[in-house]
Amino acid sequence: MTNLPPTPFTVTTDREPPTLTVRVAGELDYDTCGELVDAVVRELYDAAELRDVRLDFHELAWIDSSGLSALLMVHRHTSAADTILHLDHRPGFLDRMLRLTNVLEHLTATADHDEADERNGDVTEAGAT
């Protein structure tokens, strides 16, 4: 189906209290989304000194509805752990999906000021309309 080898899906966590950075590369979909939730949950409940969880989507190749479902689940966990979720370096397709489904605000509700800055810098083809 594809001529290019697909980017393998990887989740890399980098813990520098009070920030946890999770780099997501490849396709976040039905088959891989569980890994992301597991990785975040593992780090979240490992120690309590975290304040921010940053998901870095710089190398995200694709996301489907299951992937979005996973992001909502991650948000539930970060809220429960009293941490702030940031969605960094969102590719256009991700931004578009978050806006279409009207969950962008919800996912980043407590981090509005940070997001606004990043959005201006990183997102080029954002917006569904």
- Residues of this chain that bind other proteins (CB under 8 A): 1-4, 30, 64-66, 68-70, 72-73, 76, 100-103, 106, 128-129
Least distance in Å: CB of 20 to other proteins?
A: 20
Least distance in Å: CB of 23 to other proteins?
A: 22
- Strand-pairing partners, residue 22, are 13, 55
Which residue, 27 or 115, has its beta carbon nearer to other proteins? 27
Least distance in Å: CB of 12 to other proteins?
A: 23
